[in-house]
Structure 1
Amino acid sequence: MSRPLSTLGLGVVLLGTLLPMMDSFIVNVALPTIAGELGAGTADLELVVAGYGIAFTLLLVLSGRLGDAFGRRRVLVLGLLGFVLASLLCALATSPGWLIAARVLQGATAALIPPQVLGTIQAAVPPDRRARAMSRYAAVSGLAAILGLLLGGVLVHADLWGTSWRLIFLVNLPLGLAAAALTVFVVPDTRSEHPAGVDLRGTALLGAMVLALLVPVNRGQVLGWPLWTVVLLACVPVLAILLWRTEKRVASAGSVPLLPPSVLTEPKVRGGLLLLAPFLAAWAGFLFALPLTLQHGFGLDPLLAGLAVVPMSLAFLLGSFAVPALRTRLGDRVTPYGALVQGAGVAWLLAALPLGWLGGSVWSALPGLVLIGLGQALVVGAANISVLGAVPTAYAGVGGGLLVTVQQGSMAIGVAVFGTVFAAMLTGYGHATAFGVVLAVQLVTGIAVAYTARTKESRVAAPVS
């Protein structure tokens, strides 16, 4: 191992993680203002959001491979500097087309950051401190979504120096430059001991598969699901099979594939990702529906709606910090217990809906929100530690890229699916019923995850006769 990652170094790389994760959400609150100032239509605004998310998700695994091969610190610094430049271009936009292009560039540069952070933690943090470092990463990445919604409302409302919505991008400049400069001095450079070139065939197939999935998911509902969106979705399993066969051939030939089959077939990696995918999809759908319900169903303004989720954010933070100690005592049981805690919070909100909290006091919803934040932190934190702990250090960057790809892809699907359900129910039944349906699906998902995780844990713990 190279020199270990210090506490200051961990703080610096976590700041680097916060910026791209937060920018997936911070723009949402500013969309009406952007539309008014740039003359952007609904389709333009959707591309401002989707362009970033697709570019970000598309390049994560390739980014991890680049860090493994050329040095994670180098790629991290380049990613931070590129992200700063793209943020400046976003702030200077004078037309919808300019802003969309800058957001795509911002997403592409953002993809260079999280895999290097996860790879550095895996390679440069001693095993006895690694779980704690991963819990901090889970806390930051989870809080980024909530903080983005809150900070977006605050910055647009502040309108400092007449910057209006541009401030949500300008704030990245000092933070990103500081993170890049500090990275050079306090973050050790790590890489694979046997660096390999880029697997071009695997990269092309993975990119095609991600595009075939995310483009229809992001655009299908808006466009009325034309035939080409259905065809692209049908291509996803075909491309997945081709990718798997290609990577096996590359590995059999003695080369290093983009997604090593040995990593994908590791039970803890595969099992952790399969549990995370539906859980994060439901979480993203909840985060999509909650602000809309608070604002349009509860009558809160954007700033107050953001402040209403602060207790959930604090619970998420505390839960993330508690994961290492809980895993020491409970092992893999943290995951099903966390899912049940979140389920209790969702059940609280479901019970509160007919009691009229949408027409009464928001305080009656806060216990449920706190439990939801706590349970989410326990599941995600424990799963992250389990997945990355099973990835060999040589593939730390690839493992980090794969983990974040699954996280971002699942959340994109969750927003699309839950958003469609929420909008359909809203038209005929109102906010209480629409949000109740979202909560019901989230509750079922959480119970299924708890049952699956508990069954798997029991099977592993059972003695062999």
Structure 2
Amino acid sequence: MSVTEDDAERGERQPDAGYRWRWPALVVVMVGSAMELLDVSVTVLAGPTIRADLQGGTSDLQWYTATYTLALACGLITGGRLGDIVGRKRMFLIGMAGFTLSSALCAAAVSSDLLIVLRAVQGLFGAAMIPQGLGIIKDVFPPRSLPLAFNAMGPFMAIFSLGGPILGGWLLEADPLGAGWRTIFLVNVPIGVVAGLAAFLTLPSDPPARAVRLDLPGVLMAAAGSLLMIFPLVQGREYGWPLWAYALMGGSLAVFMAFGRHEARRRRLGADTLIAPSLFRKRSYLAGTTVGLMYFAALSGFGLAFTLYLQLGLGYSPAKTSLTGTAMTAGIIAGSLVMPKLSRYGRRLFHGGAAITVAGLLALLWVMRMDVTPWRLVPALVVAGLGSSLMMGPYFALSLSEVEPHEMGTATGVLSALQQAGSSVGAALLGTVFFEAAAHGDSVPLAASAAFAVAAGMAALMFLAGYLFPAYRPDPTP
């Protein structure tokens, strides 16, 4: 039986108009996303302390984060497809339980090598949990309320993508649990237990797809292609971008081309596929993949360059850096508050957000020519954050507007994988721009200006890419 024949039967289920727990379900999904987004970057801040305590090698500093990122990226597409097959609630609970347990084990690690292995396990369970979120939201919200749910989810992800390092820095400095670096993992345990119980009680059960089998060759090819792409992006700058880094990325493209031919062949034979080919015939979804890759690349790269600018260029402490960065987070929150009244504008709202983001980044470049103080940075950061929020608000509603329920797991798995790829690309690109400019004799502020100018250019490209979205307006929320 082909994937679409069986899954379409599951896809006929519409959200229950009398379902009482849709807003608690949305909160549970957002908590799961917050746990994952925080753990993506938190070991970057804690790395030196962890290595000293566990007596690890110099390269372990990179691997504390790299193993998590690589495992997460390699498993996201498969995790999304498993949600289609065995049920999104079941996969979310498995991912949440495994993520929570592996967090506790990371906190108890007695050696650097063990922590690296456990970080990979944590990433795999994150890959099982994260792709289910958007599918669950689309399952439980009726069409007229769906834009409001997506509008809440988008800025939330932007806040934690940008604010994760800020929260991680506070946890390390405040040490509320008195456990040193282990606090960054221990904090996941009570949150995961409560969120897992809430998920069990509030998420709707969805039946497994009958007679659908996981495409194991496709799983291996997708994982291999993701690994070959993400590994050089994560590690390439550390090694000075050697030839093998470019060779691996070229090999990734070859593997993904072979994967596409494999999926098309299975589709012709009527066999189950890992990715629903029909997704890539939907203009809105193709636009979403393009825009999402650029958005998370710009956001991640800007966050890295801004942190380097404040600490290396202005001599700010981690605490002062975190406090200054909250201005952009405040802008994102402000955008999310006005989003319900603006959601009906759809693509126009996205374009407005992109234009405001460009204006905020250009204002930041202008402020950097003055005698910089945190208060002078605040207005530009708030504007950039506001624009970022207004872009991300309608993003999911626009990207998934044409996706059928039986395609949702695959669709969100691919979008999540692209988020990770975009974050790695952005950190690699803007980090390279920053360090290359500094290596050629430019001051840190000039190097940062070059990186911020690239981020502004990426936001301008997103404005143009927004025209790929259909002129679609989500129904206004009642």
Say whether 1:125 aligns with 2:137: no
User: Residue 426 of structure 2 aligns to which amino acid in structure 1?
Assistant: G
Q: 1: distance between equivalents of 2:286 and 2:15?
A: 29
Aligned with 2:218 (options 202, 211, 215): 202
Q: Among the aligned pairs, what percent are the same residue?
A: 31
Say whether 1:453 aligns with 2:466: yes
Q: 2: distance between equivalents of 1:305 and 1:191?
A: 48
Aligned with 2:49 (options 33, 39, 47): 33
Aligned with 1:430 (options 420, 443, 455): 443
Say whether 1:111 aligns with 2:111: no
Q: 1: distance between equivalents of 2:141 and 2:338?
A: 19
1:258 alignment partner, SS class: coil
Q: Is the 8 A contact 1:57 1:111 kept in 2?
A: yes
User: Residue 299 of structure 1 aligns to which amino acid in structure 2?
Assistant: G
Aligned with 2:453 (options 426, 440, 452): 440
Instruction: Go from structure 1 to structure 2 and tell me whether the alpha carbon gap of 1:302 and 1:238 turns closer, same or farther (over 3 Å shift).
Output: same
Q: 2: distance between equivalents of 1:10 and 1:456?
A: 25
Q: Is the 8 A contact 1:83 1:109 kept in 2?
A: yes
Gaps in structure 2 of 5+ consecutive residues: 1-13, 474-478
Q: 1: distance between equivalents of 2:282 and 2:337?
A: 27
* TM-score of the pair, normalised by structure 2: 0.91
2:370 alignment partner, SS class: coil
Instruction: Go from structure 1 to structure 2 and tell me whether the alpha carbon gap of 1:301 and 1:345 turns closer, same or farther (over 3 Å shift).
Output: same
User: Residue 339 of structure 1 aligns to which amino acid in structure 2?
Assistant: A
Match of 1:381 in 2: 393
Q: Is the 8 A contact 1:278 1:445 kept in 2?
A: yes
Q: Is the 8 A contact 1:338 1:377 kept in 2?
A: yes
Q: Per-residue displacement from partner, 1:176-219 (whole Å, max 9, x unpaired)?
A: 01111111111112357666211122212211111110111112
1:389 alignment partner, SS class: coil
Match of 1:407 in 2: 419
Q: 1: distance between equivalents of 2:469 and 2:213?
A: 37
Q: Which moved more, 1:334-343 or 1:443-452?
A: 443-452
Q: Per-residue displacement from partner, 1:202-254 (whole Å, max 9, x unpaired)?
A: 21221111111011111222223444323211112222221222212222222
Q: Is the 8 A contact 1:191 1:394 kept in 2?
A: no
Q: 2: distance between equivalents of 1:171 and 1:456?
A: 39
Say whether 1:368 aligns with 2:380: yes
Instruction: Go from structure 1 to structure 2 and tell me whether the alpha carbon gap of 1:194 and 1:312 turns closer, same or farther (over 3 Å shift).
Output: farther
Deviation at 1:453, TM superposition (A): 2.1
Q: What pairs up with 1:337-376 in 2 under 5 angstroms? A: 337-357=352-372, 361-376=373-388
Q: 2: distance between equivalents of 1:176 and 1:372?
A: 32
Instruction: Go from structure 1 to structure 2 and tell me whether the alpha carbon gap of 1:64 and 1:195 turns closer, same or farther (over 3 Å shift).
Output: farther
Q: 2: distance between equivalents of 1:452 and 1:389?
A: 17
User: Residue 306 of structure 1 aligns to which amino acid in structure 2?
Assistant: S
Deviation at 1:271, TM superposition (A): 1.4
Match of 2:37 in 1: 21
Deviation at 1:255, TM superposition (A): 2.6
Q: Per-residue displacement from partner, 1:16-55 (whole Å, max 9, x unpaired)?
A: 1211111112222212222322233431010111111111
Q: Is the 8 A contact 2:73 2:227 kept in 1?
A: no
Q: 2: distance between equivalents of 1:112 and 1:133?
A: 22
Match of 2:74 in 1: 58
Instruction: Go from structure 1 to structure 2 and tell me whether the alpha carbon gap of 1:331 and 1:194 turns closer, same or farther (over 3 Å shift).
Output: farther
Aligned with 1:70 (options 71, 86, 91): 86
Say whether 1:94 aligns with 2:107: no
Instruction: Go from structure 1 to structure 2 and tell me whether the alpha carbon gap of 1:45 and 1:64 turns closer, same or farther (over 3 Å shift).
Output: same
2:394 alignment partner, SS class: helix
Q: What pairs up with 1:143-162 in 2 under 5 angstroms? A: 143-160=159-176, 162=178
Aligned residues: 456
Q: Per-residue displacement from partner, 1:277-300 (whole Å, max 9, x unpaired)?
A: 123212111011111211222222
Instruction: Go from structure 1 to structure 2 and tell me whether the alpha carbon gap of 1:279 and 1:117 turns closer, same or farther (over 3 Å shift).
Output: closer
Match of 1:184 in 2: 200
Gaps in structure 1 of 5+ consecutive residues: none
Deviation at 1:169, TM superposition (A): 0.4
2:184 alignment partner, SS class: helix
User: Residue 363 of structure 2 aligns to which amino acid in structure 1?
Assistant: W
Q: 1: distance between equivalents of 2:274 and 2:334?
A: 36
Over the aligned positions, Cα root-mean-square deviation in angstroms equals 2.0
Match of 1:217 in 2: 233
Q: 1: distance between equivalents of 2:393 and 2:70?
A: 24
Q: Is the 8 A contact 2:38 2:168 kept in 1?
A: no
Deviation at 1:77, TM superposition (A): 0.9
Q: Is the 8 A contact 1:29 1:302 kept in 2?
A: no
Match of 1:244 in 2: 260
Q: 1: distance between equivalents of 2:187 and 2:31?
A: 13
2:416 alignment partner, SS class: helix
Q: 2: distance between equivalents of 1:146 and 1:414?
A: 13
Q: Is the 8 A contact 2:154 2:395 kept in 1?
A: no
Deviation at 1:420, TM superposition (A): 1.6
Aligned with 2:347 (options 332, 343, 347): 332
Q: What pairs up with 1:196-345 in 2 under 5 angstroms? A: 196-328=212-344, 330-345=345-360
Deviation at 1:352, TM superposition (A): 1.0
Q: Is the 8 A contact 1:333 1:454 kept in 2?
A: no
Q: Per-residue displacement from partner, 1:147-170 (whole Å, max 9, x unpaired)?
A: 321221222112345411110100
2:450 alignment partner, SS class: helix
Deviation at 1:455, TM superposition (A): 7.2
* TM-score of the pair, normalised by structure 1: 0.93
2:289 alignment partner, SS class: helix
2:236 alignment partner, SS class: helix
Deviation at 1:324, TM superposition (A): 4.7
Instruction: Go from structure 1 to structure 2 and tell me whether the alpha carbon gap of 1:69 and 1:452 turns closer, same or farther (over 3 Å shift).
Output: closer
Deviation at 1:265, TM superposition (A): 2.1
Q: Which moved more, 1:139-148 or 1:149-158?
A: 139-148
2:161 alignment partner, SS class: helix
